[in-house]
Homo-oligomer: A and B are copies of this chain.
Amino acid sequence: MTSILVAVDRRSRQPLYRQIYERVRSRVLRGELRPGELVPSTRELSRELGVSRIPVLNAYEQLLAEGYFESRAGAGTWVSSSLAGGRPATPKPRGERRVSKHAAALPPYQRPVWAENLGPFQVGQPDLHRFPIRTWARLVARYTRNMRVRALQYGDALGLPELREAIAAYARRSRGVRCEAGQVVILSGSQQALDLATRVLLDDGDAAWVEEPGYWLVHHVLKAAGCRASPVPVDAQGLDVAAGEELCRRARAAFVAPSHQYPLGVTMSAARRMQLLAWAQRAGAWIVEDDYDSEYRYDSMPIASLQGMDANGRVIYAGTFSKVMFPSLRLGYLIVPSDLVERFAAMRRAIDLCPPNLTQAVMAEFIAEGHFARHIRRMRPVYASRRRVLVEAVEREFGGSAQLVGDEAGMHVALLLECDDVRLAAAAGRRGIQVSPLSASYTGPPARRGFVLGFGNAAESRIAPAVRLLRNLTAA
């Protein structure tokens, strides 16, 4: 038992047993000790209070007699489960309650509902049923069993050296990122990566280009830092750089997902990439490349990252293990220009010291033993097949009345369709099929409507019926 935080005053004229009794009782009545909670044994409490055991025994006897405590031999003593839980007394907020402007500006937080039955089209969901959970469990158990005291200690703010090496090698070979392990910063995922980049690169009030339509959580990150998101249209080539220069010439950064844009799924063309890199160099601006799901490409070879084309060290590359491994792992990374590493480390330490050892170490072994590459290799045909079933179902049901885009890579496509997508998404939700309306990804008037369809966690047999349901709803 941890302490129950009662104190005795030896100079008081009140007997010790009475002091103990009254203090425990009042803690129970105030709800600080709750029904069912274990209390220390009389031996433990007497030692803790530095008094003999007699007064503690007397106090407990009285608390038991009056029904505040219950006990059973071998099971200890606890606050009576039958007490009508005195549960008052969390402090009452009073007076001026001002929070920061940035906190006040954020949209409301809603508890996520990760039920397992949200239909086949959930966005950002890998197929967790096929994750090699046993292999993972085995590596975790093995690592923990052999863990040394040193592994319990604080680590480097930038992350575990083995994992930084493994990530750098992976990013070089599979993503064409030009980097050394020293440029890798291990974080908890894309979100912390975007936040850290924002805090290192942008001042309060600075503007940054974001894709329109785009990823909602980029907007939250910028708001949380007091920065202004300046939406720049995305067309079939990706972010329209010329439009960006007209709309917001003074942007200090651009947040883009050139490999597989969210939500449209566009792969940014080579010409646009060159244009964006040239703009950044000219403007002294930064590019944050969010490469959140490009491990999976289907018809063509993987596209090298924007970072790999950059000769001037303007690109900060963000990757995550949430999609290829699993979201609750909470591991992602930034690969930053070498001259900025030290500032990223200083900020990272100031806001969150260092990443946890266990998951980093096991992830490094998972990669080193080839499980990571194997899992990607196994999943690629699975996702490719789901995508094919989805494409065929859309062609069958919608024919020429809708257009499917962004199916070259990743785990979602966009179904372009002139309709009231918000209303239809709500209707589909009532029928058990959750789809994201495309227009909700715009900050301004939506240039396109339709649905974002995730297929990462879509059982093949459920795809065609769900597409038919969507078609019936849009036809109604």
Query: A-side interface residues toward B, CB under 8 Å?
Result: 1-8, 27, 31-34, 37, 44, 48-49, 87, 89-104, 106-109, 111-112, 114, 116, 128-129, 131, 133, 136-137, 140-141, 144-145, 147, 149-157, 169-170, 172-176, 178-180, 183, 188-189, 191-192, 195, 199-204, 206, 217, 220-221, 223-224, 226, 252, 281, 284, 295, 300-302, 304, 307, 310-315, 322, 326-330, 337-340, 342-343, 345-347, 349-359, 370, 372-373, 376-377
Whether the pair B153, A351 counts as a contact (CB closer than 8 A) is no
Instruction: Given the known inter-chain contacts A108-B346, A300-B7, A330-B356, please indicate yes or no for A89 contacting B178, CB distance below 8 A.
Output: yes
Whether the pair B343, A106 counts as a contact (CB closer than 8 A) is yes
Find chain B residues with CB under 8 A from A329 CB. Answer: 152, 356, 358
Instruction: Given the known inter-chain contacts A103-B201, A170-B2, A203-B101, please indicate yes or no for A131 contacting B144, CB distance below 8 A.
Output: no
Whether the pair A173, B93 counts as a contact (CB closer than 8 A) is no
For A97, give the chain B residue with the smallest CB separation.
B339
Whether the pair B173, A109 counts as a contact (CB closer than 8 A) is no
Given known contacts A103-B347, A192-B353, A328-B356, what 5 new A-B pairs fall within 8 Å (CB)?
A32-B176, A106-B350, A152-B327, A152-B329, A155-B328
Could you say which of B103, B145, B151, B203 contacts A141, with CB atoms under 8 Å apart?
B145
Whether the pair B346, A281 counts as a contact (CB closer than 8 A) is no
Whether the pair B5, A302 counts as a contact (CB closer than 8 A) is yes
Most B-side CB within 10 Å, residue of A31, A109, A252: A109
Whether the pair A114, B351 counts as a contact (CB closer than 8 A) is no
Could you say which of B6, B150, B326 contacts A116, with CB atoms under 8 Å apart?
B150
Chain B nearest CB from A62 CB (Å) reads 20
Find chain B residues with CB under 8 A from A356 CB. Answer: 188, 328-330, 356, 359
Instruction: List, sorted by A's number, 15 A–B pairs whose CB atoms are closer than 8 Å.
Output: A2-B174, A2-B376, A7-B300, A91-B307, A92-B311, A100-B206, A102-B203, A103-B201, A106-B347, A131-B149, A191-B349, A195-B350, A195-B352, A224-B347, A328-B357
Whether the pair A133, B152 counts as a contact (CB closer than 8 A) is yes
Copies in the complex: 2
Whether the pair A352, B189 counts as a contact (CB closer than 8 A) is yes
What separation, in Å, do the CA atoms of A107 and B347 have in the docked complex? 9
Whether the pair A90, B180 counts as a contact (CB closer than 8 A) is yes
Find chain B residues with CB under 8 A from A349 CB. Answer: 109, 191, 220
Whether the pair A156, B200 counts as a contact (CB closer than 8 A) is no
Find chain B residues with CB under 8 A from A34 CB. Answer: 169, 172
Whether the pair B347, A93 counts as a contact (CB closer than 8 A) is no
For A168, give the chain B residue with the smallest CB separation.
B34
Find chain B residues with CB under 8 A from A200 CB. Answer: 99-100, 103
